[in-house]
Amino acid sequence: MLRALRLWRRRRILQRHALPENAWRAAVAALPLLRGLSAEELARLRELAVLFLHDKEVVAADGYALSEALRLKIAAQGCLPILNLGLEWYAGWVAVIVYPDEFVPEHEYMDEAGVVHRTRDPMIGESWQRGPVILSGADVEQSGERDGVNVVIHELAHKLDMLNGAPDGYPPLHAGMDRAAWTRDFTAAYEDFCARADSSADTPIDPYAAESPAEFFAVMSEAFFEIPYVLQREYPAVYRQLGAFYRQDPAVRQVPFESWRELG
């Protein structure tokens, strides 16, 4: 009975809030990230985007002129990680707040000596464990270009990580996934990445991944969808684990960016 009610509600939302065809086509055309998705996958992504925009409040802050096109861009990219999981993986929060550009939140923490510190660092994205996702509109506008950086996917990966507590790079795994293997593969890759970052070695993946295991998971999630062939080459075990978690294999549907650019 409950399942039937949920299906009825889903159909009702999709009917009442259907996206105009031209708006959806424009969103897909503006996101190279979505190249390679099948017609069936795009149809499911479109439905998820509608449901996302119905369930989440995507609102502007600090005078930002948030267009419907950008709201849809956030929804389409935000729903890509849950394409084969479902919108219920984004349960427990309701708001996406979009600033014009970098924003400067104030954070307070206590060190081991009991001294309280306050920090004000510029950020382009932030996820609160029991609150909203916050994004820089300027960075959202540049996202989805398959350059390995995607603030929408990054912050929503944090939300997935937070489903079982504080973000630590260990989201709730599916039945059948090996927890020991996940820990082994991510730990080995994280240690290697940090060593490369400490030695100032060039890496095709955002060095911000070395900040913490939580940031490593979020940045690797960005790479998984944006530049999957790079992640597959650099850290194949992490790629396999993320493929099992997201239930996707984006490297199969994407050619390297250089080849795509040559093809026009």
| Per-residue model confidence as pLDDT tens digits over 26-78 | 999 999 999 999 999 999 999 999 999 999 999 999 999 999 999 999 999 99
User: What's the whole-model pTM score?
Assistant: 0.89
Please state the domain extents for the chain: 16-263
pLDDT value, residue 261? 43
166-225 per-position pLDDT tens digit:
999 999 999 999 999 999 999 999 999 999 999 988 889 999 999 999 999 999 999 999
CA–CA distance, 42 with 48 (Å, rounded to integer) = 10
At residue 127, the pLDDT reads: 93
pLDDT score recorded for residue 123 = 78
CATH classification of 16-263 is 3.40.1550.10, yes or no? Answer: no
Specify the pLDDT at position 118. Answer: 61
In angstroms, rounded to a whole number, what is the distance separating the alpha carbons of residues 148 and 28?
Answer: 18
Q: Are 124 and 135 in contact (CB under 8 A)?
A: yes
User: Which of these, 99, 81, 98, lies nearest to 90 by C-alpha position?
Assistant: 81
